[in-house]
Structures are given as C-alpha cells and as structure tokens.
Amino acid sequence: MAVRLREDAGWRCALQPPSAPCYTKNMNSVAYKPGKTMLKVGIVGAGHFGRFHALKARGCAREALIALFDPDPARARLVAQETGCSVAESLDALIAQVDAVIVAAPAEHHFPVAAACLKAGRHVLVEKPIAATLEEARALAALAQETGCVLQVGHLLRYSSEHRAISERIGKPLYIEATRIAPFKPRGTDVSVILDLMIHDLDLVLSLVDSPIESIDAVGVAVSSEHEDISNARVRFTNGCVASISASRISLKTERRMRVFSEEGYLSADFMAQELTMIGRKRGLPLPGTGGFRREALKWKDCDCLAAEHDAFAASCLDGVPILVDAEAGIRALDAAIRVKASMDASRKTMELSGLITG
C-alpha cells in the first residue's frame, strides 16, 4: 500500500496547474490538419498499460512515438529506453512536443491530464474509465467538442474479434449473461473490480443494447483489497432487455464467457477459447428434427486489440474518421459502473443492518 501512496503523491505533484493558461479556443488545435501523414504521440504514464501503449505506438505505421512522462523518472527512463523515445521532464514539456497524448496514468488522474492536453489543442486517447466522476467525464467531452480535438476512450473490446462476431449476429438482445473472472493480481486494486474488470463487459453490453438503463441490482464484496474484488450486477434496460454481469479478480482460474438470447437465436461465446456457437434459423448447418433451426460454430484468431485501437486513433486524428469509442460511449460506461457501485453499496448496507455481514 505504501508504494501506491508514493506513486499517487508523485502524480499529484507532477500535475500542479500551470502558472498561466495555455489555451485559447481553437487557436493551437492540431485537429485535422490537411496533408499530415504521421501523428506525433506522447504517453503519460509508464506503468503496466503505459508501457504497452508505448510499444504499440512505436509499431504503429501512422504514429511516431516522441516522448513519455511519468513522475517516477526511473520507470520513465526504463520504458523510454525500451521503446526508443525521450523522457519529458513535465506534462507541459510533453504536450509541447506532440500532436496527441495517450493518457495511461492512474484513473483518478485521467481528468487533469486529459483536460490539460485538450486545452492545449492535443488529441487524446484516455484509458478506461474516461474519468473518475461523471462531472469530469462530461467536462472532457465538452472540451473535446470546443477544441475540435479527438477524444477516444480505451475500451478495448470494441476492437475485438468477439465483439464483431457477436454484434454481427445479434441485433436486439433480450437477455445477456457475462462472466469475467481471474486469479488475484495486485495490479488494478487501486479501484474496485467494477472499474478493473466489469467495465469491459458493461461497455460490451451497452454497445449491444440500444436502450437506456432502467435499474441496476448489484452485490459485491472486498476480499483481498480495500475495494470490491467480486461482484454481480443485474441490469434492466427500458426496452425490457436484462443483463447479468459477474466479475471477480480472486478466482482460481481465468474465464471469460458471454451468452445472449434474442429472437435471432441463442449465442454462446467463450472468449478464452476464442469460439462461438449460434443456434438460429439463418446461419450454419441444419439441425435435424428441430423445425428449421441451424447451428453455426466458429473460431476466431487472436486480434491485437491495442494495435487496432492505435490504428483507429491515428485515423481519427489524421483523416477525421469517426471515433469508434468516443466520449459519449465512455460516459455511458462510467455512468453504468457508478450505478453498479451505488447499488452494491445499498445492498451491503442492507446486509449489515440484517446482520448477514459485519460492518
């Protein structure tokens, strides 16, 4: 826990507001400059995800990795040496060198970092969640709209083969069941399992269901960290669709599955085995004695989702291609996660009052 506190203190010191404003509306935005073929990229955060982003930026055909910044100079130098870029001494110094910034700092620092970049007219790819609060998330969305800069949110599943396979087959889901469990790892425990793991499936469910959330009933418990490590949420949408989403980071095995019921049929996907089965009337081989039903079974190859995310980011920044996971998608996922947490807290209070658990 001491390491986390020191890291947070470093980020707080590194993100003090500049002495003078560096933003004038649209005057220094680099958005959609004609003829630009390479995107000069900087990365904020040299931790687990920051390193992966640096490696992908280095390998992206339309990105040039210029520099990275992290309040831990030793960590920054290590990743910079591995990826062949320079180390910026401050966030302002990083912003001055690049066209776009990838924000891979701890979640509570997403807003101040992304806001500073957008105010300076730089495109931003921010890791999920988009921000710590809805107010911060909406402020970032407003800044991106005002400056004309790209604001993309790092919900990786939107770029995955499984997302494409499911969305191509299911148009109007009636019931969705998602499970995402994994063994315990200290990384990510600065937030609850909702923002660590469940938010992936929340975003995937939201991308499949074109309807507002009506209600959420959730339960969770902290076992190995200060935040919830295991949880389940039942999400009901105003169109009648229901989704049950389970997430755990204290399991003995890794499992990622999704089942979907709809008028199109029944779909079962195993994300770890990379295979999908669909029972319906339009795809696959006939099933004898079922009155016209067919069974489709397919497997997909590994997709480098992070590389695809970088390619999409470069295309949006350089060519004006629509953003696949924009600020509104990030806000919707964050809103769902916050509502899950609120329901979970209410459930815990009920359990404490009844004596089911101790406070």
pLDDT of residue 12: 56
The DSSP 8-state label assigned to residue 204 in this structure reads: H
Which pLDDT score, from 0 to 100, does residue 11 have?
62
What pLDDT is stored for residue 189 in this prediction? 66
Instruction: Give Cβ neighbours of residue 191 (< 8 Å, ≥ 6 apart).
Output: 107, 227
So what's the pLDDT on residue 188? Answer: 63
Is-contact 331 138, C-beta < 8 A?
Answer: yes
What pLDDT, on a 0 to 100 scale, did the predictor assign at position 339? 95
**CA nearest neighbour of 262 among 278, 275, 246:** 278
| Predicted local confidence at residue 224, as pLDDT | 82
* pTM of the predicted protein model: 0.85
pLDDT tens for the chain, 359 residues long, are 222 323 455 665 555 543 333 333 333 444 555 567 899 999 999 999 999 999 999 999 999 999 999 999 999 999 999 999 999 999 999 999 999 999 999 989 999 999 999 999 999 999 999 999 999 999 999 999 999 999 999 999 899 988 999 999 999 999 999 999 999 887 666 778 898 889 899 999 999 999 999 999 999 988 887 888 999 999 999 999 999 999 999 999 999 999 999 999 999 999 999 999 999 988 899 888 888 899 999 998 878 999 999 999 999 999 999 999 999 999 999 999 999 999 999 998 999 999 998 86
Q: Are 50 and 44 in contact (CB under 8 A)?
A: yes
Secondary structure of residue 353 in the 3-state scheme? helix
Structural domains in the chain, sorted by start: 2-156+309-325 (3.40.50.720), 161-302+337-348 (3.30.360.10)
Burial class (CB in 10 A: 0-12, 13-18, 19+), 308: middle
pLDDT in the model for residue 15: 59
Residue 46 class from Cβ within 10 Å (0-12 exposed, 13-18 middle, 19+ buried)?
A: buried
pLDDT at residue 340, as a whole number? 94
